[in-house]
Amino acid sequence: MDTFASIFQRAAQRKGGDDALEALLPDPQHSAKTPQQLSALDDTEILAEMTKCVFRSGFVWKIIENKWPGFEAAFHGFDVTRCAMLSDEDLEQLQNNTDIVRNAKKIISVRNNAQYILDMRREHGSFGKFLSQWPQHDFVELWAHLKKNGDRLGGQTGRFCLRFIGRDTPMFSTDVVKALVQQQVVDKEPTSKKALLATQEAFNQWQRESGRPYAQISRVLACSVP
């Protein structure tokens, strides 16, 4: 496995130099909030982001954005308690609401994820505090927690959600996976626990070496391959 410095230089050569590559990297202030900033997040913001990521999955993102005011109205501004208490009849009615995307399973996920947030609120004070207390280096188990306890928050959906909330996490785009294979960290997209832990170890090594957030490391990896 190469050092991060050598991977960065390879990526910079492909993108026109160090400055050009730096300009492509995510702003840490948006993709990597501090624990204090995560703790300050309102649960309403988090449920809204979970919902947006779930509905975007396998769909045209622009359509979700265009319909978002309808989502906000349909789900009471993503008030967590109200969404957690939606009845089966409420959910059935929402499946006929043309102001939102009428996908039954995804509509039900809003109630389930509101309940997930309430569970974390009871245990930690808020979902943001739960995220702030989770060890930064152990993102694989955090992904697993979202998948197990949330609804439709596995895989890339959960990772996008964390990234948009501001919890720093790697992403597995096609080019990132290609770079991980090139670095002999894995031999294909990591899905098994063993492969995910190997990926986590690699990212943590590059993070210790560079001091950069995972979001930037992911982008550099993606830029390093043709």
Averaged over 204-212, what is the pLDDT? Answer: 97
Averaged over 180-185, what is the pLDDT? Answer: 97
Interval 72-127: pLDDT, tens: 999 999 999 999 999 999 999 999 999 999 999 999 999 999 999 999 999 999 99
Question: What dihedral do alpha carbons 155, 161, 166, 171 form, nearest 10°?
Answer: 30
pLDDT tops 90 at residue 163: yes
Q: Show contacts of 11-17: CB within 8 Å, 24+ apart.
A: 11/220, 11/221, 11/223, 11/224, 14/223, 14/224, 14/226, 15/223
Q: What is the pTM of this model?
A: 0.93
Q: Are 133 and 124 contacting, i.e. CB atoms less than 8 angstroms apart?
A: yes
Q: How confident is the model at residue 190 (pLDDT cuts 50, 70, 90)?
A: very high
Name the least confident of 28-32, 118-122, 181-185: 28-32
pLDDT tops 80 at residue 149: yes
Instruction: Give dist(CA 177, CA 191) in Å, integer.
Output: 11
Instruction: Give dist(CA 152, CA 121) in Å, integer.
Output: 20
Q: Are 201 and 155 contacting, i.e. CB atoms less than 8 angstroms apart?
A: no
Predicted pLDDT at 31: 75
CB neighbours of 12 closer than 8 A, spacing ≥ 6?
Answer: 18, 20, 21
**CATH architecture, domain defined by 36-165:** Orthogonal Bundle (1.10)
The rounded percent of the chain whose pLDDT value lies above 90 is 97
Predicted pLDDT at 30: 75
Instruction: Give dist(CA 34, CA 205) in Å, integer.
Output: 20
Instruction: Give dist(CA 199, CA 176) in Å, integer.
Output: 11
CA distances 67 to 55, 59, 117, 163, 204, Å, are: 11, 13, 24, 22, 38
Where are the CATH 1.10.340.30 domain residues in the chain?
Answer: 36-165
N-terminal to C-terminal alpha carbon distance within the chain: 18
Phi-psi region of 184 (alpha: psi -120 to 50; beta: other; left: phi over 0): left
Joined together, the tokens standing for residue 188 give 């294909």
Name the least confident of 26-40, 66-80, 185-199: 26-40
